[in-house]
Chain A
Amino acid sequence: MSTKIVTARVGVPESFLLSTYLGHGGYSALRKALSMTPEDVHAEVMASGMLGRGGAGFEAGRKWSMLKQDPIRYLVVNGDESEPSTFKDHLLVENDPHQLIEGTLITAYAIGATRAFIYLRGEFALGLERVQTAINEAYAYGAIGANIFGSGFSIDLVLQPGAGAYICGEETALIESLEGKRGFPRIKPPYFPAVIGLYGAPTIVNNVETMSNVPWIITNGGKAFAALGKGRSTGTRLFALSGDVVKPGNYELEMTSKTFRELIYDPDLGGGLRDGRSVKAVIPGGVSAPWIGPDNLDLPLGQDEVAQAGSMLGSGSIIVLDDHSCAVRAVWRITKFFSRESCGQCTPCREGSGWIEKIMHRIELGSGTESDLDLLLDVCDNIAPGLTWPPQQTTICVLGPSIPSSVVSGIKMFRDEFMVHIKEEGCPFVH
């Protein structure tokens, strides 16, 4: 039985209530943290080696170290989970809001935040209700507010709903949104909100899953966390498995302990593919990531392992396409997503995403030409010159440079399939 950190209470009846959480030792990590110095709390998280669970995979403790020590500084939790096929934070906010709140409060103490905010995706109506209820309960219990548990430490925690915009997952766009503005990513530099963030003050932005790991780290020690996994991939991770598998769902696994193949085929995990079909491609880490083929299924689920194969673990989502699914249609739908969600500030992304989507659509519908493939790559090259991985950036944020991933993967891996669409003037797959 592998260690469950963030999903320990998933499946427990009324896991979202304070009474349940307290019954499982809830808020004892906060009490422990408040009896330590902030720098000792920070040191535990450093020792854990935990990489941020949002997608970029930056070490959480190191991020905290970068926080400019101005008198006013903020903590913002990023719960704007919108990367297609990522549904792990959704699970955590609905099932264990107190764990998230406790981790947030511990972090706020460690970094000396003036105020903490949890920015939650607007579409998570139930999640918003669960987290707000939990915040209300935690205030009444004395875990938030003035002089928490008699420690002399006070802080307020505010829940902020989003309103439907993928780009607000980008941390500077999220901050703009939290300031009541359009979700436009900010021009860099400054590269990190840790220098200039919310209301111009230094700000730490951490993901929901990152925060949800913090109570366990304080209770069990950073070393115990670091003992799980391998190399830079410490602890566990929530893998959101979807697509053509028998049992899609969230699986918390010790990092690097399983391979893609095991996650997909293990009867206790993905349970294999429907109707005994075979894997055609896997999209790891969200639709911004390059695809991997059936020849790479034995890669362990670790940060560096997937990076070395030319892709990324990203948000921990894994989409499986079987041999009856159309790669062209999948690429088209992904590019349509980017086209809809581009914020419109930068020309390469705003215009490029629209053109790519239109070309992909005509290929899928059967009116494409062979020269369209070169045209697609050319437009992609204008967004991310050189089509390298990780991509070169011509835009304010990484949304633009994420667009070519699926297009380039699709053409590289399934050129024949593109050609069938073009030659037979239509999609050969049954939908």
Chain B
Amino acid sequence: MSFFSSENLEKAQVLIGLYPEKRSALIPLCHLAQGQHGHLSNEAMEQIAELLDIQPAEVLGTASFYDMLHTEEVGKYLVGVCTNVACMLGGGIELLEHASDVLGVPIGGTTEDGMFTLEEVECVAHCDKAPCAQVNYRYFGPLANGDFDQLVDDLRNDRLSESVPPHGVLSQVFRDAPAMVPLEIIHRERRAMDDEKKARLAALNKDAGGNQ
């Protein structure tokens, strides 16, 4: 049984083909799997391992390092409130407390209806809009408490479904470029470039020597 849908399996093969070494596709494949399933299931990690010729434990070992890769189920919307220093100065810590009250979950918790998982995130580079939050990695800010309530209401009522894709969908744009230039061709080109460069430098040195 394949975890990846046939469409995603094709995408996975394209991604793997982008690298001189397969394992480099590990993080992109994890994002692809989350896009399909919301989080990284064991089945997903097993198939990623198979595709990359490594052990499932190595996929887990890598995935567990990264905040964006979730090996356990999370809500439809990952709400991340930033409390790092610029947002803190703008009231980020208080916004996070408010978010926790409004959603009725502690930090890291998921609402009973499976709609929201609340996270406290580190600086997400949106500091001119402090305090800010991200929902499935789409940015919102500056957010007063009322703005946050409105955001939650919009999300609950599907009013932002166009701008905020489902959890796990990191990018809605896929590489559609033609096949990669075969490495043999690149290597041949580079050898020629290096040889030409050496010849030019040698000629320069010779000229310099002749002028002395």
Contacts and interface: CB of A to CB of B under 8 A. Distances in A.
A391 B66 CA distance: 28
A165 B65 CA distance: 8
Contacts of A333: 83-85, 88, 93
Interface string B23-53: 1111110110000000000000000000010
B86 to A, nearest CB: 4
A69 B190 CA distance: 11
A82 B125 contact: yes
Nearest to A156: B180
Interface stretch (B4-12, B102-110, B126-134, B145-153): B126-134
Contacts of A126: 138-139
A276 interface: no
Contacts of A319: 85-86, 89, 127
B187 to A, nearest CB: 7
Interface in B121-180: 121-128, 130, 134, 136-139, 170-178, 180
A139 B178 contact: yes
5 contacts: A128-B173, A146-B181, A155-B186, A240-B127, A243-B86
A321 B138 CA distance: 27
Given A90-B126, A154-B181, A166-B122, A132 B174 contact: yes
Contacts of B202: none
A118 B21 CA distance: 16
B185 A154 contact: yes
Contacts of B18: 156, 158
User: Which 9 A-B pairs give the minimum distances between C-beta atoms?
Assistant: A164-B67, A180-B26, A163-B66, A180-B23, A164-B68, A242-B127, A139-B177, A125-B137, A84-B123
A367 interface: no
Given A136-B176, A146-B185, A164-B66, A330 B85 contact: yes
Interface residues of B, number: 68
B31 A341 contact: no
Interface of A: 37-39, 69, 71-72, 81-87, 89-90, 112, 114-115, 121-126, 128-129, 132-133, 135-136, 139-140, 144-146, 152-156, 158-166, 177-183, 199, 240-244, 248-250, 283, 287, 317, 319, 321, 325, 329-330, 333-334, 337, 340-341, 343, 431
A112 B197 CA distance: 11
Given A37-B200, A165-B65, A179-B21, A129 B177 contact: no
Contacts of A121: 125
Contact of B186 (A114, A161, A162, A334): A114
Interface of B: 18-21, 23-28, 30-31, 52, 61-63, 65-69, 83-86, 88-89, 91, 93-94, 121-128, 130, 134, 136-139, 170-178, 180-181, 183, 185-187, 189-191, 193-194, 196-197, 200-201
Contacts of A330: 85, 88-89
Given A129-B172, A154-B181, A164-B68, A431 B93 contact: yes
A383 B181 CA distance: 47
Nearest to A129: B173
Contacts of A128: 170-171, 173
Q: By CB atoms of chain A within 10 A, which of B67, B93, B121, B123 has the most?
A: B123
Given A162-B27, A179-B21, A154 B186 contact: yes
B24 A124 contact: no
B108 to A, nearest CB: 13
Contact of A159 (B93, B138, B175, B191): B175
A431 B98 CA distance: 13
B27 A112 contact: no
Nearest to B193: A112
A329 B85 CA distance: 9
Contacts of A38: 193, 197
A153 B189 contact: yes
Nearest to A344: B65
Given A152-B189, A333-B84, A87 B127 contact: yes
Contact of A242 (B26, B91, B130, B196): B130
Contacts of B187: 71-72, 114
A391 B79 CA distance: 37
A161 B31 contact: yes
Nearest to A136: B176
A163 B67 contact: yes
Contacts of B68: 122-123, 162-164
A352 to B, nearest CB: 18
Contacts of A161: 27-28, 31, 170-171
